[in-house]
Amino acid sequence: MASLDGPSKARGFSRVWETLSTAVVLVAAVAVTFVAIQQWRGSRMTVARRAGAIEPPIPTQPISLTGLPSLGSKSAPVVLMVFSDFQCPFCRAFAEDRLAALRLDYIDRGRLRIVFRHWPLGMHANARPAARVAICAADQQKFWKMHDELFANPNDLGPGGLTARAAAAGLDQGRLAACLVDPRTEATLTRDRVLGQQLQLTSTPSSLVGLLDSAQRLDPRKWIIGAPDVTVFRTVLEALSPAPNHR
């Protein structure tokens, strides 16, 4: 049987080494590509969440509206319950743009009622104190004035800023101070937080749209997550309760 001489063996080892090196490079390239794909998928998932593509399950039971801040007729056939955070930029877009359009076309015409619930995110240090001030503003029948003040000044929600916002909304400072330490204020905030957890919310704003039932509760039909173009809201609202001239 023939045997390899020295140079032949060297060439053989060289070819083996080149093959192994190529394999290592290919494995590394595959690994880098896999990581890049996972990062891309994660990025796409984040964008999808922000765009409202991921929705919680539709609740199967009606939800009480008793004692909640609201805009519009209490007999409006459609109710939009928005879970919001005063330090959230998407919530601000809803409050300052989408809500204005909905007010003109639906709320002022008796077709829609907006109901507000608090969902301050842990990442926003000033969101919870702002929510507490808004709850106290509701006790003085000035929730929506406070709502507008808070969203109009997102970078001034520290203690001094909240005091200024409360004064601008016309709140009685003595009543506000007493309300802020009242256990019922924290209980109201906790009530909304617990409901949001039960509904499996993960982001703000999250708007639950439904019909007003015979017991004056929200009969849930559709989630709208984030602050998409107002045409998305119009499409959902028209499907639930078409304008009279469309019937």
CA gap 183, 150 in Å, rounded: 23
Query: Residue 97 above 50 pLDDT?
Result: yes
Q: Give residue 237's pLDDT band: very low, low, confident or very high (50, 70, 90).
A: very high
* pTM score, whole prediction: 0.77
The stretch 211-236 carries a mean pLDDT of 97
What pLDDT does 243 receive? 81
* Predicted local confidence at residue 15, as pLDDT: 58
pLDDT above 80 for 225: yes
Whether 109 has a pLDDT exceeding 70, the answer reads yes
**Does the pLDDT at position 207 exceed 60?**
yes
Quickly tell me which residue has 């959230």 as its tokens.
Answer: 88
What's the pLDDT at 197? 96
Asked whether residue 179 carries a pLDDT value surpassing 60, the answer given is yes
Can you state the angle between helices 143-152 and 127-139, rounded to 10 degrees?
Answer: 150
Binned at pLDDT 50, 70 and 90, residue 12 comes out as low
Query: What are the pLDDT digits (tens) for 53-92?
Result: 478 999 999 999 999 999 999 999 999 999 999 999 999 9
Average pLDDT, the chain: 84
Q: Which residue has the higher pLDDT, 40 or 126?
A: 126
What does the longest C-alpha to C-alpha distance in the chain come to? 106
Model confidence at 110: pLDDT above 80 = yes
